[in-house]
């Protein structure tokens, strides 16, 4: 008879009947835990005329593919049910028979399983219940007779540009007439279409109070949470701190010492807003600071072919020029994807050693390349990580069954893609489809790759696609405050709402209504009190991946470490007598131990929208002993440019602090630096002593972080 030993050493015997009882209890408990609570999906009245327009091929099949194909496909047909075609759906499964009963939606087994009314778990099992809109479409189709149009194809819906049921405004009518009848360039048509679609946005919710809208939404959250800051707001940062913060955030460089001094001495009450506007007008420096971020995000490479494999293209100069000219963000994104636009980033083709190689942002020569292109676009421009769903349904985000991602990826390729589950071919092709319903846009997908890319670019940047606009304003918020309204910024999902959903909605709509002008939104963020608040570690928010629902209040900015480019460029601009924008680190393709230790990737072989900001031993060792930093701070030309013979050591200390930290030294700091600079000789021209001071300042946390 089986027996077991307790922790105290006593041996107990168990009968087989007792073991069976325990097993039954465990299985029953697990089953109870697995079966999710039933979700009541509200029913809506069925309008016969609307029901008659529902198409199986266009409307119903994509819902079934997205939600049900994981368990009920040709390859894996649980309960003998295959939902991938009309014929197999009508044939039904071994238990319930036909899945649909034409004319009787609420008696149809498929509807009963979706509603959780059958003697089984609510379908789709293990995933969120269908939405009310999805269930209503299915019920309408069945009520109208469950017609099969899968062989003849669905009649196009929305193929005419006039497809909204609401009465168009005079402005919308004027824009529509221009689209239909005016001779427009592709760029003019793009901008006119954006403005036309913008007229169908819902009214913008006004901020809770006057002033900067960001501050209004943030303080409203403080009041709601009954935080003391609602009555006594945290102080703004000092002028010297603000100058350094905003120079680094707009230009990527610390402020020149004299400009920092002048700003601090300026008594004007509007000087902060005026400084922001002046720096945003420095288009060369503004563009130079944005370029490495987007090179990382687009996996831009300095070479078209790496090891015989085509790269994602070299987009450096195009990124720089686009930000210098303040190109509308939606147009910038569309030019990466849409072959019909004059500014399209057309892939380049090569035949090294007789092998065809393509280099470009959108690659679709193979099944895998189409998947990768779709995954890159969704991560960067929808803030949504779909890559896991390329091989199997997403384990951590039930919004993304594999078939839904495969449908999206098909829009980037020359044909619908086969569902290949964990390297096993199913032979089943998933109809291409954009993953989000956009009111008024045709959902049918063109058959040729040029028009597929044109259509997916249109839908991606459409003003009524909220994930596109919300994703970029969230990235801007994170860039300047240290944390986003959505975290992680690449994991936009319905089950994790934004920390301030009303603010996110408002910012997204505001960006759209200003024609996707990023500088407008940046200016709005930087002029807010929220951005200008003094850093305080006890008030700063933190994001814990294990506690994603923890509230964020933005009572203090979060510490942000300088990027490799910011750190290197700031040191070089501070220590050189002559400096220009062509010397920026992003223009150099060489990878050094120092740049890698500071987080710059050695090669951009994959998408990255945020570099690691953690510290490591290798970084400390490089800053302590690395030859590159030693050359920067101890070079004779550095001392020659910074030491002045007519200065006392105390005056030199004062000037060096303004150069490196944009502030005057404290009395203690001035005394210590002056003593070190004087050295045994009592003179202030000691080259090595100056190098010591510069090294100590440049590796200090105050220099390495934006606070």
Question: Among residues 311, 316, 319, 357, which one has the least CA distance to residue 335?
Answer: 319
DSSP state, residue 93: B
- H, E, C per residue of 389-454: HHCCCCCCCCCCCHHHHHHHHHHHCCCCEEEEECCEEEEEEECCCCCCCCCCCCCCCCCCHHHHHH
Per-residue confidence band for 163, with pLDDT thresholds at 50, 70 and 90 = very low
Comparing 612 with 225, the larger pLDDT belongs to 225
> What integer pLDDT is reported at residue 1 of this predicted model?
41
Structure tokens at 440: 């008024």
305 three-state secondary structure: strand
Q: Helices 627-634 and 617-625 sit at what angle, rounded to 10 degrees? A: 40
- What does the pLDDT average to over 149-156? 51
> What integer pLDDT is reported at residue 68 of this predicted model?
79
> What integer pLDDT is reported at residue 86 of this predicted model?
82
Lowest pLDDT segment from 200-204, 256-260, 686-690: 686-690
Collect contacts of 113-122 with beta carbons under 8 A, ≥24 apart. Answer: 114/41, 114/138, 115/41, 116/38, 116/39, 121/34, 121/35, 121/36, 122/36, 122/38, 122/39
Lowest pLDDT segment from 114-123, 392-401, 644-653: 392-401
> What integer pLDDT is reported at residue 151 of this predicted model?
57
Is the model's pLDDT at 338 over the cut of 80? Answer: yes
- What does the pLDDT average to over 532-542? 96
- CA-to-CA distance for 410 and 368, rounded, in angstroms? 11
> What integer pLDDT is reported at residue 23 of this predicted model?
44
User: Over the stretch 380-434, which tens digit does the pLDDT of each residue have?
Assistant: 999 998 888 888 777 677 778 888 899 999 999 999 999 988 888 988 899 999 9
- What does the pLDDT average to over 200-214? 93
> What integer pLDDT is reported at residue 38 of this predicted model?
86
Is the model's pLDDT at 24 over the cut of 60? Answer: no
User: Over the stretch 653-666, which tens digit does the pLDDT of each residue have?
Assistant: 999 999 999 999 99
> What integer pLDDT is reported at residue 156 of this predicted model?
36
Is the model's pLDDT at 35 over the cut of 70? Answer: no
222 close to 232: Cβ distance less than 8 angstroms: no
Question: Among residues 43, 52, 57, 55, which one has the least CA distance to residue 130?
Answer: 43
Instruction: Please report, to the nearest 10 degrees, the dihedral formed by the alpha carbons of residues 653, 654, 656, 657 taken in order.
Output: 110
- CA-to-CA distance for 321 and 337, rounded, in angstroms? 18
> What integer pLDDT is reported at residue 399 of this predicted model?
78
- Mean pLDDT over all residues of the chain? 87
Highest mean pLDDT among 280-294, 582-596, 624-638: 280-294
Burial (0-12, 13-18, 19+ Cβ within 10 Å), 129: buried
- What does the pLDDT average to over 537-557? 94
- What does the pLDDT average to over 516-544? 97
Helices (H), 266-366: 271-280, 283-298, 316-324, 329-337
- CA-to-CA distance for 565 and 647, rounded, in angstroms? 32
> What integer pLDDT is reported at residue 615 of this predicted model?
80
- CA-to-CA distance for 604 and 586, rounded, in angstroms? 13
304 close to 348: Cβ distance less than 8 angstroms: yes
Per-residue confidence band for 73, with pLDDT thresholds at 50, 70 and 90 = low
Per-residue confidence band for 74, with pLDDT thresholds at 50, 70 and 90 = low
> What integer pLDDT is reported at residue 577 of this predicted model?
78
- CA-to-CA distance for 595 and 490, rounded, in angstroms? 25
Neighbouring residues of 536: CB distance < 8 A, sequence distance ≥ 6: 234, 555, 556
> What integer pLDDT is reported at residue 32 of this predicted model?
44
Structure tokens at 191: 């901008």
Is the model's pLDDT at 25 over the cut of 70? Answer: no
> What integer pLDDT is reported at residue 75 of this predicted model?
54
Dihedral pair phi/psi, residue 428, rounded to 5°: -100, 125
- CA-to-CA distance for 360 and 379, rounded, in angstroms? 17
Neighbouring residues of 35: CB distance < 8 A, sequence distance ≥ 6: 121
Using a pLDDT cut of 90, give the percent of the chain over it.
60
Is the model's pLDDT at 2 over the cut of 50? Answer: no
- What does the pLDDT average to over 591-611? 91
User: Over the stretch 294-333, which tens digit does the pLDDT of each residue have?
Assistant: 999 999 999 999 888 899 999 999 999 999 999 999 999 9
């Amino acid at each position: 008879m089986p027996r077991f030993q307790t922790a105290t050493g006593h041996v107990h015997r168990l009968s087989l009947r007792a073991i069976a009882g325990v097993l039954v209890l465990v299985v029953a408990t697990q089953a109870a835990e697995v079966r999710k609570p039933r979700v009541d999906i509200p029913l809506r009245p069925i309008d016969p005329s609307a029901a008659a327009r529902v198409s199986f091929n266009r409307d119903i099949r994509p819902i079934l593919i997205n939600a049900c194909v994981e368990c009920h496909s040709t390859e894996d047909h649980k309960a003998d049910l295959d939902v991938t075609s009309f014929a197999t759906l009508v044939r039904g499964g071994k238990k319930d028979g036909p899945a649909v009963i034409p004319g009787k939606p609420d008696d149809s087994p498929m509807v009963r399983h979706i509603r959780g009314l059958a003697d089984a778990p609510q379908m789709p099992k293990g995933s969120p219940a269908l939405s009310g809109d999805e269930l209503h479409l299915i019920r309408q189709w069945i009520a109208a007779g469950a017609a099969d149009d899968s062989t003849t194809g669905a009649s196009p819906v929305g193929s005419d540009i006039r497809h909204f049921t609401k009465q168009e405004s005079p402005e919308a009518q004027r824009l529509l007439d221009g689209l239909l009848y005016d001779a427009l360039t592709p760029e003019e048509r793009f901008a006119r279409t954006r403005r036309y679609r913008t007229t169908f946005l819902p009214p913008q919710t006004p901020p809770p109070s006057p002033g900067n809208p960001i501050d209004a939404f943030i303080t409203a959250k403080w009041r709601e949470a009954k935080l003391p800051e609602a009555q006594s707001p945290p102080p703004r940062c000092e002028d010297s701190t603000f100058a350094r913060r905003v120079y680094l955030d707009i230009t990527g460089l610390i402020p020149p010492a004299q400009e920092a001094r002048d700003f601090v001495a300026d008594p004007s009450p509007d000087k902060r807003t005026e400084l922001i506007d002046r720096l945003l007008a420095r288009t060369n420096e503004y563009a130079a600071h944005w370029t490495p971020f987007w090179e990382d995000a687009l996996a831009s490479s300095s070479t078209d072919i790496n090891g015989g494999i085509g790269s994602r293209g070299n987009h450096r100069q195009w990124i720089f020029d686009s930000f210098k000219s303040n190109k509308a963000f939606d147009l910038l994104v569309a030019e990466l994807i849409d072959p019909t636009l004059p500014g399209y980033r057309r892939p380049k083709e090569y035949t090294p050693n007789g092998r065809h190689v393509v280099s470009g942002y959108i690659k679709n020569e193979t099944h895998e390349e189409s998947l990768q292109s779709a995954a890159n676009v969704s991560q960067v421009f929808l803030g949504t990580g779909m890559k896991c769903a390329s091989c199997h349904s997403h384990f951590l985000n039930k919004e993304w069954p594999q078939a839904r991602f495969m449908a999206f990826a098909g829009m980037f390729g020359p044909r619908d893609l086969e569902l290949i589950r964990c390297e096993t071919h199913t032979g089943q092709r998933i109809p291409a489809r954009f993953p989000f319903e956009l009111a008024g846009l045709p959902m049918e997908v063109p058959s040729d790759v040029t028009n597929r890319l044109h259509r997916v670019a249109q839908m991606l940047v459409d003003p009524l696609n909220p994930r596109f606009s919300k994703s970029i304003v969230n990235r801007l918020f994170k860039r300047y405050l240290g944390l986003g309204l959505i975290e992680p910024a690449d994991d936009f999902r319905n089950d994790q709402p934004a920390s301030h959903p009303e603010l996110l909605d408002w910012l997204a709509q505001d960006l759209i209504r200003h024609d996707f002008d990023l500088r407008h939104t940046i200016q709005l963020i930087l002029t807010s009190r929220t951005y200008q608040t003094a850093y305080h570690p006890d008030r700063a928010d933190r994001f814990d991946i294990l506690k994603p629902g923890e509230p964020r209040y933005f009572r203090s900015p979060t510490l942000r470490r300088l990027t490799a480019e910011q750190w290197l460029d700031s040191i070089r601009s501070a220590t050189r007598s002559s400096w220009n924008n062509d010397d920026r680190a992003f223009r150099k393709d060489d990878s050094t131990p120092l740049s890698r230790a500071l987080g710059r990737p050695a090669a951009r072989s994959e998408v990255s929208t945020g570099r690691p900001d953690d510290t490591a031993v290798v970084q400390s060792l490089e800053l302590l002993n690395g030859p590159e930093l030693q050359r920067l701070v101890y070079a004779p030309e550095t001392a020659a440019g910074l030491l002045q013979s007519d200065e006392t050591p105390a005056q030199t200390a004062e000037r060096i602090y303004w150069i490196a930290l944009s502030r005057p030294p404290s009395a203690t700091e001035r005394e210590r630096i002056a003593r070190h600079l004087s050295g045994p000789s009592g003179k202030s021209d000691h080259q090595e002593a100056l190098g010591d001071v510069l090294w100590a300042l440049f590796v200090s946390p105050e220099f390495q972080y934006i606070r």
